[in-house]
Amino acid sequence: PGKASRSVASGSGADPVRSFERWKKRYAKRKDKQRQQRKQKKPEWQVERESIAALERRYSEINTNEVTRFSDFPISRKTLKGLQEAQYRMVTEIQKQTIGLALQGKDVLGAAKTGSGKTLAFIVPALEILYRQQWTAMDELGVLIISPTRELAYQTFEVLRKVGKNHEFSAGLIIGGKDLKQESDKIHNMNILICTPGRLLQHMDETSYFHASNLQMLILDEADRILDMGFADTMNAIIENLPKKRQTLLFSATQTKSVKDLARLSLKDPEYIWVHEKAKFSTPATLEQNYIVCELYQKVNMLYSFLRSHLNKKSIVFFASCKEVQYLFRVFCRLRPGLPILALHGKQQQMKRMEVYQDFLRKKSAVLFATDLAARGLDFPAVNWVIQVDCPEDANTYIHRVGRTARYKEGGEALLVLLPSEENGMIQQLSQKKVPVSNIKINPEKLLDVQKKLQSLLAQDQDLKERAQRCFVSYLRSVYLMKNKEVFDVLKLPIAEYALSLGLAVAPRVRFLQKVQKKLHTAELEKEGKEPVEDTKFSLSDEELEKCRRIFSRTGMLGQKEPEGLSGKSSPVEEALQSPSEPEEPAIVHESKPESLNFFEDDDDDGDDDDNAFKDVLTVKRRNVFGLEPEEKAPLIKPNVKLKKKITKTKEAKKVLKRNFKVNTKIVFTDDGELIQQWPPAQKSILDKEEDGDDCNGINLDKAKERLQEEDKFDKEEYRKKIKEKHRVSRISSHLSKYQMEILSKCYSFPLMPFSFFSCIVYLWMKRNNLYLIEQLYIFDLEEMK
């Protein structure tokens, strides 16, 4: 009780004002402390600069042997967050070796096997160099990434979007096939630009406010392809517009070491990183590689049989030209091998190419017919087979093609189809590049023949036939344009058999091949010491040519005698006209009239009077064309063989005129037996048909117009009559059916007259008479019968 009383007393004695003052003092102290902390806190931009400086100090401490994750590199938090969200945590060998050097600002040439992660090896340094310099949209272009194909540029852009989405940089994709004006409006605001060479050069030439004077980093993906002869002029023009003070990164599976190429890019002490240089093979270890030797005319059958036996697989089939892909894609869609077929080539529109690319990514089992457009850089998931129906240009192209499968520790298989003439040279090249390829053979029992099906398809579709012809020529041209003539020899190909295998009945004409054969023939003649001639089928010496001129001159002038010096030996022209099987006959002399010659070769055939009349009209005046003096008359030699004369349209027309053929005409009469004039239509108007003497030189348009108006009235009247007759017939038929049924029902009660006979009489009688007599007929007949 005492404690309770003390607590109550103390509580009652506390001053509320003092307690408020104590609370106020504590609150003021807390606010002063927070205010001082805010004064001491650094701004965000200063904190970020300090973090960037700390990252730069760690660049020199990078040890590639200790790096296993991306977090082991001194890179920004935004980049690390993007990598983790995209499920990129562990680094590959090429990323481990090149990212550290690129962060230190060195020029790098990186080479690694296909599917080893080269894209991230240059995306991460590109983001970091802009982050270190606090790049904004006002600073314009900072990083330029050039890819050889549109699909590869699009794929790189998608990776950049995933990894760099936490940064505030602007990135653009500049490729052909898109709206140029829309790109021009936004290109000057881009910090990172991913593009193809042709489109970039077009913007440099046409977009006035686009420049790359502040460029910090240049990246060439698939550098060996970009720097080769195909892009040489374009790349030279692009490099001239770029600043020389920049960092350059080059990546490819088959890197270039050409001093000339590196000098063009102005590289400064570049670091060459070839992570698999000491590897046993230059292709992935998980890739199983085989080749078969197949004749050219069996390639289509082999491919169809292969697809039929691999229905649940995802495959890519490479061809040499776009027209091959176009034709075989359409043909295989009609043959229906049993799995989806897609086509990707350079002749397609850009939207179609992107649609095919995305569609093939989604499908689990499909086959993609493609050119070398899809051979570099494209990352298709879960590709089981890569079939090279046409031999690649070299070993580097082979490596890039087979790199579409066996990506990043996954398995895959590759099949190379070689012709017998290509086997030795190509296998030797692959062995030099450390590519292990084993030979296998085709099982003839599983080989299906589709040649007859192709022929039937081409017979039904003319467009498909034309595509087959273009495919044929395109393949031969691609073989002819190959640089390595030891492997590719177009003259060794079985052209006729190849045309039949495509479904063509006859091989199309290949003009460039004819020119090649002609050049080879000319070269052989020059080696033998003979003079090449333009026409190898028929040639004459100078003496024989002079003799032919004189013979021709005699035939054109008065038939004159041949000089003695020319009568001894016959020319090749005369020998060609003589039949080898018949004995020679003495020459027959003909006297030809100088006044006229036959213009048509066929004028002598009929021997009619009309023909003789033409001979006097159609004459040709002969002149001394070769400048030779007229000689004495010489007999014309008539050859023993009568050449088959050509049947011309003129001759056929003359025969028709001689026989007086008449065209069939239709004659129509009226009910009264009068003849109806069919053509020209008889004029029914009463206007005068004769025109005045002043208008005899032409047509009087006013009078013609009046006649047409009068004729139109008659035509309208006839049309009205036809309509009335049509309505009258319809009314008669309706009434006739009504009364016929009544009459037949009445007549059925009369046993004296057969039902069928009576109904026929009534029907014919009613049909012959007019409508208003039907009721009278009905009543009259019934009264008579009663």
Q: Is residue 179 part of a domain?
A: yes
| Tally of domains within the chain | 2
Instruction: Calculate what percentage of the chain has a pLDDT beyond 70.
Output: 73
Q: How big is the CA angle at 90 (ends 88 and 96), to the nearest 5 degrees?
A: 110
Of 455, 480, 505, the one marking the end of a domain is 480
Q: What is the pLDDT of residues 12-31, one digit of tens each?
A: 456 788 888 888 888 998 88
Q: Is residue 56 part of a domain?
A: yes
For the ranges 252-261, 527-536, 702-711, 735-744, the lowest mean pLDDT is seen at 735-744
Q: What is the pLDDT of residues 583-613, one digit of tens each?
A: 333 333 344 333 333 333 444 444 444 444 4
- Model pLDDT, residue 559: 41
Of 250, 274, 298, the one marking the end of a domain is 274
| C-alpha dist (Å) from residue 515 to 208, 242, 359, 480, 508 | 46, 44, 43, 12, 15
Q: For the CA atoms of 600, 602, 605, 606, what is the dihedral angle to 10 degrees?
A: -70
Q: Which domain holds residue 84?
A: 47-274
672-684 mean pLDDT: 68
- Model pLDDT, residue 658: 80
- Residue of higher predicted confidence among 440 and 548: 440
Q: Is residue 583 part of a domain?
A: no
Rg from Cα positions in the chain: 48
What is the rounded distance in angstroms from the CA atom of residue 77 to the CA atom of residue 131?
Answer: 11
Instruction: Calculate what percentage of the chain has a pLDDT beyond 90.
Output: 46
Highest mean pLDDT, choosing among 175-179, 366-370, 444-448, 647-651: 366-370
Residue 668: strand pairing partners: 676
Same domain, 223 and 301: no
- Model pLDDT, residue 737: 59
Helical H segments across 680-770, by residue range: 701-747, 755-768
- Model pLDDT, residue 570: 43
How many C-beta atoms surround the C-beta of residue 555 within 10 A?
14
Same domain, 236 and 293: no
Q: State how beta strands 385-388 and 412-418 pair.
A: parallel
Same domain, 233 and 302: no
The edge-to-edge listing of strands for the beta sheet with 385-388 is: 341-344, 366-370, 314-318, 385-388, 412-418, 287-293, 438-439
The confidence band for 707, taking pLDDT boundaries of 50, 70 and 90, is confident
426-443 mean pLDDT: 94
- Model pLDDT, residue 124: 96
Same domain, 311 and 431: yes
- Model pLDDT, residue 588: 39
Q: HEC profile for 610-676? A: HHHHHHHHCCCCCCCCCCCCCCCECCCCCCCCCCCCCCCHHHHHHHHHHCCCCCCCCCEECCCCCEE
Same domain, 264 and 339: no
Per-chain mean pLDDT for the chain: 79
What is the rounded distance in angstroms from the CA atom of residue 193 to the CA atom of residue 206?
Answer: 17
457-478 mean pLDDT: 95
Q: What is the pLDDT of residues 82-109, one digit of tens each?
A: 999 999 999 999 999 999 999 999 999 9
- Residue of higher predicted confidence among 37 and 184: 184
Q: What is the pLDDT of residues 393-413, one digit of tens each?
A: 999 999 999 999 998 888 999
Of 456, 480, 504, the one marking the end of a domain is 480
Same domain, 64 and 181: yes
- Model pLDDT, residue 693: 47
The confidence band for 253, taking pLDDT boundaries of 50, 70 and 90, is confident
Whether the per-residue pLDDT at 646 is higher than 80: the answer is no
Q: What is the pLDDT of residues 127-163, one digit of tens each?
A: 999 999 999 878 889 999 999 999 999 999 999 999 9
- Residue of higher predicted confidence among 701 and 447: 447
Q: Is residue 181 part of a domain?
A: yes
The confidence band for 70, taking pLDDT boundaries of 50, 70 and 90, is very high
- Residue of higher predicted confidence among 47 and 398: 398
Same domain, 361 and 465: yes
673-698 mean pLDDT: 59
Same domain, 323 and 388: yes
Q: What is the DSSP string of 543-561?
A: HHHHHHHHHHHHHHSS-BP
| C-alpha dist (Å) from residue 426 to 203, 207, 324, 440, 484 | 41, 46, 22, 16, 10
Highest mean pLDDT, choosing among 36-40, 426-430, 699-703: 426-430
Q: What is the pLDDT of residues 468-507, one digit of tens each?
A: 999 999 999 999 999 999 999 999 999 999 999 999 999 9
Same domain, 82 and 109: yes
- Residue of higher predicted confidence among 280 and 777: 280
Highest mean pLDDT, choosing among 105-109, 266-270, 376-380, 649-653: 105-109
What is the rounded distance in angstroms from the CA atom of residue 251 to the CA atom of residue 226?
Answer: 11
Which CATH number is 176's domain given?
3.40.50.300
Same domain, 336 and 440: yes
Q: Is residue 538 part of a domain?
A: no
Same domain, 324 and 417: yes
Q: Is residue 715 part of a domain?
A: no
Same domain, 229 and 326: no
- Model pLDDT, residue 360: 95
Q: Looking up tokens 């007229």, which residue turns up?
A: 630
Residue 249: strand pairing partners: 108, 219
Whether the per-residue pLDDT at 540 is higher than 50: the answer is no
How many C-beta atoms surround the C-beta of residue 449 within 10 A?
13
Q: What is the pLDDT of residues 298-339, one digit of tens each?
A: 999 999 999 999 999 999 999 999 999 999 999 999 999 999
b/e code 242-254 from CB counts within 10 Å (16+ = b): beeebbbbbbbbb
Q: Is residue 597 part of a domain?
A: no
What is the rounded distance in angstroms from the CA atom of residue 603 to the CA atom of residue 328?
Answer: 54
Q: Is residue 335 part of a domain?
A: yes
What is the rounded distance in angstroms from the CA atom of residue 202 to the CA atom of residue 198?
Answer: 6
Q: What is the pLDDT of residues 181-192, one digit of tens each?
A: 999 999 988 999
Whether the per-residue pLDDT at 691 is higher than 70: the answer is no
Q: What is the pLDDT of residues 744-776, one digit of tens each?
A: 555 444 444 444 455 555 555 555 554 444 444
Backbone phi, psi, residue 478, to 5°: -65, -40
Tokens, residue 275: 């992570």
- Residue of higher predicted confidence among 548 and 51: 51
